[in-house]
Amino acid sequence: MELLEKLLPLARLKSGQTAVVEDVCCGNPDDNHRLASMGFRCGALVRMVAAGCPCAVQVGETRIMLRGSHTEAIRVSVLGHPSVSCSRP
């Protein structure tokens, strides 16, 4: 099984779950940069405040609303589950 197949898209988290960002890949460098500037970087802790579309996610002290392709592009490992190591800087 490929490494990324073991990760969940952010969209699959349930309200209240906490996870670690393991990969962010939108396919568009501008979108990747924008997500990184909001705190969605490899190793960041995120908490799903309200699941759905759009969803509310807490990164640090900031709550961010996301929808669509962005929530699918952010791959996470749920805390309490085996994590994979991050290969991105």
Q: Residue 6's closest CA among 87, 80, 76? A: 76
* CA dist., res. 4 & res. 23, Å (int): 8
Going from N- to C-terminal start, the domains of the chain cover 3-78
Residue 5's pLDDT band (cuts 50, 70, 90) = low
Give the pLDDT confidence score for residue 83 in this predicted structure: 46
Superfamily, domain 3-78:
Ferrous iron transport protein A (FeoA) (2.30.30.90)
Give the pLDDT confidence score for residue 81 in this predicted structure: 54
Task: Give residue-wise pLDDT tens across range 65-83.
Answer: 998 889 999 999 998 654 4
Task: Give residue-wise pLDDT tens across range 15-62.
Answer: 999 999 999 988 889 999 999 999 999 999 999 999 999 999 999 999
Give the pLDDT confidence score for residue 1 in this predicted structure: 40
Q: Residue 13's closest CA among 88, 87, 81? A: 81
Identify residue 63 by its one-letter amino acid code: R
